[in-house]
Amino acid sequence: MQMIEWLRQPWPWYVSGPLIGLMVPLLLILGNRSFGVSSSLRHICAACMPSRIPFFTYEWKKEMWNLFFVFGIFLGGLVVYLFMSNPNTITVDPRLVNELQQYGISDFTGLVPNDIFNWQSLFTFKGIIMMVGGGLLVGFGTRYAGGCTSGHAVMGISTLQWPSVIATICFMAGGFLVANFVLPAILKL
């Protein structure tokens, strides 16, 4: 039972970081594979839409391992949610709590603030901007950058790919700008 309690806690960076980093040599050694998640949507579309759209016309079956990998991520998340969820309230830095309370956010009982991430909020102007607009921007950015943050930052940089360094710098700069300027403006709506 002690192991379950340990697994329920957030893992420190010095444990989780190297585990993620070890995926790079493991995938390269096991079959010269690249780590990344965003390409799996393309594989699903290529498998499910037998049309002659050039972007989806390739041998997607060679990338079937990636679909199993993504399904494993989903399955792992489901197992953790159903059987290993931490029942304790998430600890949030008091400075962040004070800042978020200025925007009317005070419910920190879940992994994300329930005041803005719930079904009722989805159908508000602020919810549409944050959840739908944000999702579309992430999808567009992923496609435009030629991959997701995990593919570029973990796999691309570790294999010394210059475009991945540029993409990761842009991801980080965009994240800093949105977190410090755009998100506060949206939360004030």
- Residue 1: its pLDDT value, please? 59
DSSP conformational letter for 109: S
- Specify the pTM: 0.75
Q: Angle at Cα 85 formed by Cα 82 and Cα 91, nearest 5°?
A: 155
- Residue 23: its pLDDT value, please? 84
What's the pLDDT band for 71 if we cut at 50, 70, 90? very high
For residues 130-155, average pLDDT: 87
Could you identify the residue written with the tokens 């957030």? 10
- Residue 30: its pLDDT value, please? 84
Neighbours of 174 (CB within 10 A): 13
User: Please, which residues have CB within 8 angstroms of residue 107's CB and are 6 or more apart in sequence?
Assistant: 113, 114, 115
Q: Is the pLDDT of residue 141 over 80?
A: yes
pLDDT in tens, 72-87: 989 998 988 888 877 7
**Measured torsion, CA atoms of residues 75, 76, 78, 83, in degrees rounded to the nearest 10:** 130
